[in-house]
A and B are shown apart, each in its own frame.
Chain A
Amino acid sequence: MRIPHPILGLRDQSEFVYLGDACLLERPDGMQADALQKMTEYAYQRDNCRGLHRELWFHEQGDRAWLVVTRNTVTHEIVKVEFANEVASHD
């Protein structure tokens, strides 16, 4: 697989480390009353989707940017790559 890095262009998958579903960006506030319930869902509940999937990749052997990669889990087609910090700032 090759991932089109927003700045560095097409990079081989071996330069990256995979983490998981980009829903990790939406971390609940740990000080709220229902934090235990929400944090449990946040840490353990994932959709196992067929089709477009937003996921977090770390360009460890590169610029050390965390990326949100939108990948088709059926075809491995990558339709979008964004900087995770930009996505997270907009939320």
Chain B
Amino acid sequence: MTNRFADAPGIDVAEPVHFQFDNRTYVGYLGDTLASALLANNVRLIGRSFKYHRPRGVFSDGSDEPNALVTVLREGHPEPNTRATEIELYDGLKAWSQNAWPSLRFDLLAVNDWLSKFLTAGFYYKTFMWPARFWEAVYEPMIRRAAGIGRLSDTPDPSVYDKGYLHPDVLVIGAGLAGLVCSLQLAKGGQRVLLVDEHARFGGRLLFSANAKLRPWLDALVEEVLKHPNIQRLIRTVVFGSYDHGVYGAITRNTEHQAADPGVLPKQTYWTISAGHTILATGALTRSIAFPNNDRPGIMTMSAIEAYAVYYGALKGSSVALFISHEEGRRTALRLHALGVNIKAVIDTRSEALPLTEFPYFTGSQVVNTSGRLGLTGIQVRSSDGTFQWINVDYLGISGGYNPTIQLTCHQGAKPKWDLSIEAFRAADNRPDDQRCIGGADGAFGLGDCWQSAIHAAEAILGQSLHLVNPFNESEPLALQSEYVIYGHGPTFVDMQNDVTIKDIQLSHQEGMSSVEHVKRYTTLGMATDQGKHSNVLGLAALAQATGQSIAETGTTLSRPPYTGVSIGALAGQYRDLDFKPTRLTPSHQAATARHASFVEVGNWLRAQWFPLPHEKYWRETVDREVIAVRRNVGVCDVTTLGKIDVQGEDAAAFLNHVYANGFLKLPVGKTRYGLMLREDGIVMDDGTAARLSETQFVVTTTTANAVPVYRHMEYVRQCLCPKMDVHLISTTEAWAQFAVAGPRSRELIARLVACDVSNEVFPFMACAETHLRNGIRARLFRISFSGELAFEIAVPTRVGNAFFEYLLEIGKDLEVTPYGTEALSVLRIEKGHAAGAELNGQTTAKQLGLERIVSQTKDSIGRVLAGRDALQNDTACLVGLQPVTSSDPLVAGAHLVGLGKPIDAAHDLGYVTSVAYSPHCQSMIGLAYLKEGASYRGKRIRAVSLLDHQDIEVDVVSPHFVDPDGERLRV
């Protein structure tokens, strides 16, 4: 215990913690961050920079850190670009430096630093242009290898993430002085407050302050906040984005401060917060000053020096210089000195500042250069009299002013404005009225002003005066005289994470980039993962000096979410892998599983694809058997996934007459009709059947894929276009388990199930009825066919669907009943020439489907008018069947159609194949296709060409109805 100041409030010296950095073991203490522990172990060099591979160390003490990015290993998974300033130390922590090879101290790519004269803004644009073919082959791979910070793991993230929702009256972001005071007053006034802070402890900058007499006051305040029942608290939580209507996004790091994952909490929680009011008590960040060689390890913000020395007790035995331009810097120097920090020198840019006697104090002076290859060894000071001198120091703390942390106020597009009175950007007025800034975020940098602004905000929200006495009556003026850039020899960094220097900004100005937006994109200023928290204002100041404008005239770029990086895993939450979307199971899923069915995803549904028998070795064997079973005997298929919409009301028929292109007014009760639904632009939207169960009730079916959009469309037509009709809709897709029972022996099977007469005379093709099973259970029966065979569809309540499916297969054994899946269903409908999803692809007209004559011209239906426009009417493509000339030739969907002996190019493209299947009926592959002038090609020979599949085969153009073209089997 030699390397720490005594009584550091942030660490527990009774709890040593062992950790590894770059495979070396060190000791820190409970409460340390990786950054503070490394500094206490005299490790200042932590990484190499992005472009020039310059040695870099810790620059800040929080989420604003641009330099100290490391890779941490957790649960065997490497997480790159983690900020050492935020990693809480735990026993066994393992971290590695990044961007250095072969080692951090000796990095080969540091040669880039020597080449930095050439690697200025726009270097890549200007250099890697010729020869053009070199870009993909040589330049890009080379640049990609050298670029980037850290390396992504190529294995899945093993951690668990979750999502949550919060609805406080007031969201207070930041638990520093302002946030704590405001939360407490709001809570006392009856508001439900959500108080969040990035850190593990409440207190904000006051925790780190060298002003020790404030500590008892802060402790008492925090205790009161922690006890108040109206204040919900989230620590280790960053609010990363502000969205419309008072919605904020936040991430809580639940477990990353602990060694072992306790297994209960997710690693991170992604919160969506809807707040009535939001208070930004986000404080302000110390602003740096740019000067030559200002990036050496050991150079950091003055606030960081304060935090590491006071809160973590580090920097003992090190010499420290401060480079400042305001009175708070002077006061901090005194306090640090009083705590025993070895203040070697204070360089104050202000000529009028009062010097101190406790340590060398340079007024009207600047730091103009630094030394130390792998860490700071000295600073060169230019005194007010123009003389130069070198001072040996280990650390340099900089503060050229303060930047309010107002990024969240920009996310809805409000651009910050430069406020001369605080020499900083302030939140714009045109931001949402439910959002307020207080404390440092509002430019109230002194304690008294900070307290006052918190009280004002609480009073505004509560709508009453609180009559409180400000406990901070001492006036401590800032007396800021901002300093931004000290010009001199050597690289002068404004953006350390992206290695952007003053020279880059001057160069981009010389090359004509005068707007701040251009300079940002040309130099990549502020575009790194720290989003320019430290670099933006310095860069703007440098640009302003180059253009001769003020900072106010130069303006700023707009900060966008996220404030700090958000893991992709946190965005996904639990919605990954199998839980990425819900899985819908068909009613007969259990029975299908018991029969070893293979399943296929259809939207969210899992449908049985085929039902293999033990001796079947190849899926086609199974599917062919199922198809033949339907054509010869009877098969059963679960078709529950097709959308079902119940349409009821006096105007139900008139409504369907408007929605469908064909007529529905005269459909008799007990009959079903095919319905063709068009979009208003005349393209086919969907097709299905509508069964009239009574004068005022229809049951409409949709395709599986369009069940949701069709329901939405029908509600749109009902509510928006036909508001005066007496009609109501409800989706009953999940209420009824529906099965196709298809094949020549289907009537025999159906007759064993239902109580009603299903003879052809009483229940002919397209009949429908509400009926009962023989055991009294409700059922709906439809005589419709997708396979082209004599067929029925029968619907029973979903709860009995699985049992009913089993029962069907049981009582139909003597009829050789066979369960069939979606693949056989598809073969059957292609053989019959029925259009399905592949044909109804959002580009299809009724004419192409050969259904033009059913579009009624005597009524006003959706899509009728525009279906008649020339562009659609002049399209000659129509649905045809294709059969390979050589029966063993394969045919693939997506193949294009070309005439015999014609070149394969767009000009000779005649159409394309939509669906293919092996047809046991034709004993060859068959296909459906859209073919230009299709009618005139009937009986002729063309080619199906798929360059992707290296196929070019001759096919005969035939009727799309390969089976029973006259539809006799349907009607027996």
Tell me how far the C-beta of B243 lies from the nearest C-beta in chain A, rounded to whole angstroms.
Answer: 7
A2 x B246 contact (CB < 8 A):
yes
Cβ of A35 within 8 Å of any chain B Cβ, yes or no, is yes
Cβ of B908 within 8 Å of any chain A Cβ, yes or no, is no
A89 contacts across to B, CB distance below 8 A: 723-724
Which of B243, B412, B715, B723 is close to A88, meaning CB atoms less than 8 Å apart?
A: B723
Q: Which of B696-704, B748-756, B865-873 is the contact stretch?
A: B865-873
* Contacts A/B (CB < 8 Å), 11 sampled: A1-B247, A2-B274, A12-B247, A17-B712, A30-B864, A30-B865, A39-B865, A40-B866, A42-B680, A66-B720, A75-B412
Which of B244, B246, B274, B723 is close to A85, meaning CB atoms less than 8 Å apart?
A: B723
Number of A-B contacts (CB under 8 A): 75
Bound Cα distance A64, B715 (Å): 8
Residues of B within 8 A of A (CB): 243-247, 272, 274, 412, 680-681, 708, 712, 715-716, 718-721, 723-724, 859-861, 864-866, 868-869
Bound Cα distance A42, B869 (Å): 14
Bound Cα distance A31, B869 (Å): 14
B869 x A58 contact (CB < 8 A):
no
Interface class of chain A by DSSP: mixed
A75 contacts across to B, CB distance below 8 A: 412
Cβ of A79 within 8 Å of any chain B Cβ, yes or no, is no
Tell me how far the C-beta of A12 lies from the nearest C-beta in chain B, rounded to whole angstroms.
Answer: 8
Cβ of A27 within 8 Å of any chain B Cβ, yes or no, is yes
Which of A1, A30, A35, A66 is close to B243, meaning CB atoms less than 8 Å apart?
A: A1
B412 contacts across to A, CB distance below 8 A: 75-76
Which of B243, B246, B720 is close to A25, meaning CB atoms less than 8 Å apart?
A: B720
B720 x A56 contact (CB < 8 A):
yes
CB under 8 Å from chain B, chain A span 36-80: 36, 39-40, 42-44, 56, 58, 60, 64-66, 75-76, 78
Cβ-closest chain B residue relative to A60: B712
Which of A2, A31, A66, A83 is close to B715, meaning CB atoms less than 8 Å apart?
A: A66
Tell me how far the C-beta of A42 lies from the nearest C-beta in chain B, rounded to whole angstroms.
Answer: 8
Tell me how far the C-beta of B822 lies from the nearest C-beta in chain A, rounded to whole angstroms.
Answer: 27
B866 contacts across to A, CB distance below 8 A: 36, 39-40, 43
The CB with the most chain A CB atoms within 10 A, among B243, B244, B723, B859, is that of B723
B244 contacts across to A, CB distance below 8 A: 1-2, 76
A65 contacts across to B, CB distance below 8 A: 719
Bound Cα distance A25, B718 (Å): 11
Which of A35, A83, A88 is close to B721, meaning CB atoms less than 8 Å apart?
A: A88
Residues of A within 8 A of B (CB): 1-2, 10, 12, 17, 19, 24-25, 27, 29-31, 35-36, 39-40, 42-44, 56, 58, 60, 64-66, 75-76, 78, 83-86, 88-89
B719 x A84 contact (CB < 8 A):
yes
A36 x B721 contact (CB < 8 A):
no
A17 contacts across to B, CB distance below 8 A: 712
B716 x A58 contact (CB < 8 A):
yes
The CB with the most chain B CB atoms within 10 A, among A35, A56, A66, is that of A66
Bound Cα distance A84, B861 (Å): 20
Tell me how far the C-beta of B447 lies from the nearest C-beta in chain A, rounded to whole angstroms.
Answer: 36
Cβ-closest chain B residue relative to A30: B860
Tell me how far the C-beta of A64 lies from the nearest C-beta in chain B, rounded to whole angstroms.
Answer: 6
Bound Cα distance A56, B246 (Å): 22
Bound Cα distance A1, B861 (Å): 35
Tell me how far the C-beta of B793 lies from the nearest C-beta in chain A, rounded to whole angstroms.
Answer: 26
Bound Cα distance A66, B721 (Å): 11
A29 x B719 contact (CB < 8 A):
no
Known A58-B715, A60-B712, A66-B715; judge A1-B720 contact (CB<8 A).
Answer: no
B861 x A30 contact (CB < 8 A):
yes
Cβ-closest chain A residue relative to B721: A27
Tell me how far the C-beta of B872 lies from the nearest C-beta in chain A, rounded to whole angstroms.
Answer: 12
Bound Cα distance A46, B70 (Å): 52
Which of A2, A24, A39 is close to B720, meaning CB atoms less than 8 Å apart?
A: A24
Bound Cα distance A36, B682 (Å): 11
Bound Cα distance A13, B518 (Å): 35
B868 contacts across to A, CB distance below 8 A: 36
Tell me how far the C-beta of B16 lies from the nearest C-beta in chain A, rounded to whole angstroms.
Answer: 48
Tell me how far the C-beta of B241 lies from the nearest C-beta in chain A, rounded to whole angstroms.
Answer: 13
B243 contacts across to A, CB distance below 8 A: 1
Known A1-B243, A29-B860, A43-B681; judge A88-B719 contact (CB<8 A).
Answer: yes
Cβ-closest chain A residue relative to B870: A36
Tell me how far the C-beta of A18 lies from the nearest C-beta in chain B, rounded to whole angstroms.
Answer: 11
B245 x A31 contact (CB < 8 A):
no
B869 x A40 contact (CB < 8 A):
yes
Bound Cα distance A19, B412 (Å): 23
Bound Cα distance A1, B860 (Å): 37
A31 contacts across to B, CB distance below 8 A: 859-860
Cβ-closest chain B residue relative to A91: B723
The CB with the most chain A CB atoms within 10 A, among B712, B859, B865, B868, is that of B865
